[in-house]
Structure 1
Amino acid sequence: MSTEELSKEQQILRLMRKTLGSVVRDATPLGGRPNPLKDTTIQEIKDCFALISDREKELAGQLGFDQAKPYYKDGEQPNSNVLNFVKPSKE
Structure 2
Amino acid sequence: MSEIELSKEEKVLRMVKRVLTDIARDTYAPPGQRHPLSGETMQSMRDCLALIVARENELAEAAGRPNTMRPHYVDEPRKASVVVQLDDKLKRSGQAKEGE
Q: TM-score, normalised by structure 1?
A: 0.63
Question: Which residue does the alignment assign to 1:16?
Answer: 16
Unpaired runs of at least 5, structure 2: 70-80, 82-100
Q: Name 2:41's counterpart in structure 1.
A: 41
Shift of 1:65: 1.2
Q: For residues 12-70 of structure 1, what are the alpha-carbon distances to aligned partners after superposition, in whole Å with 9 as ceiling and x for unaligned? A: 11111011100111111135211111111111010000000000001001101133xx4
C-alpha distance in structure 1 between counterparts of 2:21 and 2:27, whole Å:
10
- Identical pairs, percent: 39
> SS at the partner of 2:45?
helix
Query: Following TM superposition, where does structure 1 have runs of at least 4 consecutive aligned residues deviating by more than 4 angstroms?
Result: none
In 2, the alpha carbon distance for the partners of 1:62 and 1:48 equals 21
Q: Which residue of 2 aligns with 1:59?
A: 59
Q: Which has the higher contact order (CA 8 A, sep 6+)?
A: 1
Whose Rg is larger? 2
Structure 1 distance, partners of 2:22, 2:15, is 10
Q: Where in structure 1 are there 5+ consecutive unaligned residues?
A: 72-81, 83-91
3-state DSSP of counterpart to 1:36: coil
SS of 1:50's partner is helix
Provide the aligned length of Structure 1 versus Structure 2: 67
